[in-house]
Structure 1
């Protein structure tokens, strides 16, 4: 075994430990209509909610905003922030429990003092208001409802965005630094960012322009996932055989009608797969088929390079519900290990 391979295998092991420690998850919540009582809450003082430690100004999607430093009561709505908040030792007063991953956040799910504010499709604003947050971590799937959330409590949007300077992955770093500033955890934030930087740089060095297909496995088939997970390949030296053109959004619910034979004809060197159903289950109770089984059983792909050389990278089962900085650190390490071993 080469020294390089030993190094990256060691890095991969450390990454898995890192991931277990920081536990990745992501859940999301969108807003609907805010009850009139919520509007009144936004005008009240923080009396009875606990005291923060002064204020701090952070850059947000809405411009610079002054927010409480080490806020006493936090409602965590942006799923990309969950693992980082947990790494900081933050216990929220409210989260969307139905959207938490199956593993890693059992303590949040089972703690009755952490209120369940529903899902992004059926938000419970009265519950959010009753939890009396000092600060709401909004953004991402909550972006369109920022103003309504702000009527309940001070709401900060530091979520990553594809439109951010440097792209989504760079925005993950900015988000982590902002949260570190808010919760007086700058050192821990720097460590989390450094881990992503190291993994990203390793993946960049390991990729040499290989052709890759980005897939989303759901309902027993694999469709084009470029609109959602091309964020992973943007910093790397890889060529996507299918882009996101024609895909209306970053949704993974689209059914483009992509035929397996089309992928076989494009013959990518590698495949990277997001398993949506592993995270949230099948549509309307349909039987869930693991992404690995779908890929390995697809006869049309028998002669493709990625199948013959077993060059398929499966993202973690909870990736669809996480998408935060820790969620990207692991696949960069996976990629660095896999591409180095294949070279």
Structure 2
């Protein structure tokens, strides 16, 4: 009897010990596991983006939904990387991005006048803007995280590459972005070597309603000199968004070997204003005296790539091809 009582007591003690151990282990695992998993997940879902319009970094979700894009260069890059968007500025879209005029994409307003109400109704998780929307940044930021991808013309290639890499980070397309940039790097080197070997001097001009503006190194279209290697016929052209106003006498006196023409009127039609083509503007008796005209080296660049977009994966690739094809 005494032995039975001792055996029963021992069994009860063992049961209590096992029961206690069984409850303690899962509780500790759940707390540790959940805490570390939650922190890792949260960190993986957002990144901080620094840009020129805000002194504070902007928190952006990875793979955001209902993305609104104003900057055509960014739209170009996202299209090339296979990233879908919800809304764009449909007015003045480059022809090669005309698919975004489809009704499946919402119109976010114009390049200079966002439709804040419509954008708000979309509940976007990210808005991407460029230099043309700088004044709208504060209002757009009230709707959703907003980042500017305006390119620094003084360091165009590196600035452009950083934007592409950023799009790769945000949308989990880093490998694809790297492959595209590697191909562009190779193409830039080839056209640069060709330009340097030619020893030709070039002048970049923008034609608009019969007037002429020149662009030099570190300017809006300065990639032709800074990255592609074409020697500027005038290294002292004032850097300005709208270029330095010049005369036809100036073009004749500088006598460039190549004239690279961006025809704004070909892509931006303003009501009530006479449309004068770049060719009509430029090819007069004074310009016909230049080496560029005599040798057939007046190069009319595609303004869809150069003026409307200018900093996307496809546009930059096409810009390189145009300069490469022009150089002889």
Tell me the TM-score normalised to structure 2 length: 0.76
Partner of 1:83: 76
Where does residue 250 of structure 1 map in the other structure?
241
Q: Once the 2 structures are TM-superposed, how far is the Cα of residue 160 of structure 1 from its aligned partner?
A: 1.8
Residues 158 and 178, structure 1, Cα contact 8 Å, conserved in 2? no
Shift of 1:130: 1.2
- What is the aligned partner in structure 2 of residue 220 from structure 1? 210
User: 1:244, 1:322 → 2: CA distance?
Assistant: 26
Structure 2 vs 1, CA of residues 162 and 225 (structure 1 numbering), >3 Å: closer, same or farther? closer
The partner residue of 1:288 within 275, 290, 297 is: 275
> Unaligned regions of 5+ residues in structure 1, if any?
1-52
**Aligned-partner Cα distance in 1 for 2:228–2:85:** 35
Distance apart, 1:293 and its partner CA:
4.4
1:312 to 288, 298, 302: 298
**Aligned partners of 1:132, 1:86: CA distance in 2, in Å?**
21
1:244-277: CA deviation from partner (whole Å, max 9, x where unpaired): 6446x3126x7x2x22122111111111111111
**Post-superposition offset of 1:133:** 0.3
Q: For 1:299, what is the secondary structure of its paired residue?
A: coil
The match for 1:184 among 172, 175, 189 is 172
Aligned equivalent of 2:221: 229
Q: What secondary structure, in the 3-state scheme, does the structure 2 residue paired with 1:121 have?
A: coil
Looking at structure 2, the residues matched to 116 and 108 of structure 1 have their Cα atoms a distance apart, in angstroms, of 9
Change in 2 beyond 3 A, CA 1:313/1:199: farther
Structure with larger RCO (C-alpha < 8 A, sep 6+): 1
TM-score, normalised via structure 1 length: 0.73
Quick one: which of 103, 112, 121 aligns to 1:130?
Answer: 121
Structure 1 position 333, deviation (Å): 2.4
Shift of 1:99: 2.8
Matched, 1:158 2:149: yes
**What SS does the aligned partner of 1:82 have?**
helix
Aligned counterpart, 2:4 = none
2:323 to 331, 335, 340: 335
Deviates more, 1:89-98 or 1:129-138: 89-98
CA distance in 2, matches of 1:204, 1:322: 22
Structure with greater Cα Rg: 2
SS of residue in 1 equivalent to 2:146:
strand
| Equivalent residue in structure 1 for 2:163, among 168, 172, 175 | 175
SS in 1 for 2:166: helix
CA contact (8 A) 1:81 1:159 kept: no
Match of 1:117 among 108, 112, 121: 108
- Count of matched residue positions in the alignment of Structure 1 and Structure 2: 277
